[in-house]
């Protein structure tokens, strides 16, 4: 997105250390869902709306993150 003129907004999150697969997947799911919300909000900003290429990139990002969230949910269902 930076190449389209939108500076990236990096949010450093604390490193999640867990020996539990379920806990690690849950934390990862939270992170992915948070990213989806940030990208959707950015997509709706007035300045972003002026750049069609940026909108396409954000839609692709949200689609990929939604796919990842669905897969993580599937893994969580299979995790004891």
Choice between 67 and 19, residue whose per-residue pLDDT is larger: 67
Nearest Cα to Cα of residue 58 among 71, 77, 45:
45
Alpha helices in the chain (DSSP H): 21-44, 52-78
Q: Long-range contacts made by residues 4-9, C-beta under 8 angstroms, separation at least 24?
A: 4/51, 4/53, 4/54, 4/57, 5/51, 5/54, 6/42, 6/48, 6/51, 6/54, 9/38
Contact 45, 51 (CB under 8 A): no
Residue 12's pLDDT is what? 74
Question: How does pLDDT run across 5-58, given as a tens digit for each residue?
Answer: 667 677 777 777 888 999 999 999 999 999 999 999 999 999 889 888 889 999
pLDDT at 4 over 80: no
């Amino acid at each position: 997105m930076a190449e389209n003129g939108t500076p990236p907004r990096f949010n450093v999150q604390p490193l999640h250390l867990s020996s539990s697969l379920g806990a690690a997947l849950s934390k990862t799911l939270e992170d992915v869902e948070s990213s989806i919300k940030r990208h959707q909000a950015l997509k709706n900003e007035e300045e972003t709306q002026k750049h069609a290429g940026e909108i396409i990139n954000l839609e692709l990002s949200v689609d990929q993150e939604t796919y990842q969230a669905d897969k993580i949910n599937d893994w969580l269902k299979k995790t004891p």
